[in-house]
Amino acid sequence: MQKPILSTVLRRQYLCDEVMKTIKERIFSIEYNRGDRLIVETLSQELEVSMTPVREGLKALVSEGLVVYDGKSYSVFNPNVKEIADIFRIRRSMERLAASLASESMKVEEIEKLVALFSQEHISRHFSNKSELIRIDKLYHTKILEGADNKRLKTLLEPLQEQCWLIRAWGYSKTFPAWHVERTAEEHLRILAYIKDHQSDEAGIAMENHLINGEERTWESLKGISF
């Protein structure tokens, strides 16, 4: 008996999503390093799936900016210093806009959920490792971008965010200063306060300053890594 078409499509999408998730986790955990080639056939064998979901998963990661395709092969995103600086600069401008827009449209309950993430108790309990800090940072910036309610901005900004988080993961693989957590939490709460009070300009400026500080911390953590 032939499988229903919808069931086949859903299974294929599920496999693609799972492959993408697995490869992405390996990239962020530095199991796959900068510039490493990602060979479809090898990944297919490792993950015990056909090559089709592997290709689809890699294409999705290309759209996220974490994987590069040169027309022949796939490899992990591997920027030089100039490219990193450019990514930081563009992201900073877009996130400033996102914070300003969020102050006009973000729901209070969503703001309060984010505020709760940065309580002292939550920080002490959950922010003890680099992967958790990056996870919470992703959630924070993703929710603010959603609160901005601008699909075009979301499409343009998301790949830059993913690349920035990966760059930070490279730095944190070498050093993870505990004070980064407290400083980041303070800056996040300041931005949320402006958003909640509908202070558009202040929210945007606070976000830009937060990202400038984050860039400085990231550059510091990247010292000793050759680009």
Correct CATH for 5-76 of 1.10.1040.10, 1.10.3720.10, 1.10.10.10, 3.30.360.10: 1.10.10.10
Provide DSSP, 133-178: HHHHHHHHHHHHHHHHT-HHHHHHHHHHHHHHHHHHHHHHTT---T
Average pLDDT, the chain: 90
CA-based nearest residue to 38, from 15, 61, 18: 61
pLDDT in tens, 13-30: 788 899 999 999 999 999
* Average pLDDT rounded to a whole number, residues 100-108: 97
The pLDDT, as a whole number, for residue 10 is: 63
pTM reported for the whole predicted model: 0.88
What pLDDT, on the 0 to 100 scale, is given for residue 6? Answer: 46
Per-residue pLDDT tens over the stretch 59-103: 999 999 999 999 999 999 999 999 999 999 999 999 999 999 999
The region of weakest confidence among 3-7, 59-63, 156-160, 206-210 is: 3-7
Alpha-carbon torsion (167, 170, 176, 181), positive or negative: positive
Written as one string, the DSSP assignment of 198-211 is T-HHHHHHHHHHHH
Q: What angle do helix axes 5-28 and 151-172 make, rounded to 10 degrees? A: 40
pLDDT at residue 174, rounded to an integer: 76
Q: Write down the pLDDT at residue 139.
A: 93
Structure token digits, residue 119 = 């309580």
The answer to whether the CB of 34 falls within 8 A of the CB of 76 is yes
CATH class label, 81-221:
mainly alpha
Task: Evaluate whether 75 touches 41 at the Cβ level (below 8 Å).
Answer: no
% of the chain beyond a pLDDT of 90: 73
Contacts of residue 18, defined as CB under 8 A and 6 or more positions apart, other chains included, come to 53, 57
- Domain boundaries of the chain, sorted by first residue: 5-76, 81-221
124-128 long-range Cβ contacts below 8 angstroms, 24+ apart: 127/181, 127/185
- Give the residue with greater pLDDT, 56 vs 132: 56
Torsion of CA 117, 118, 119, 121, to 10 degrees: 80
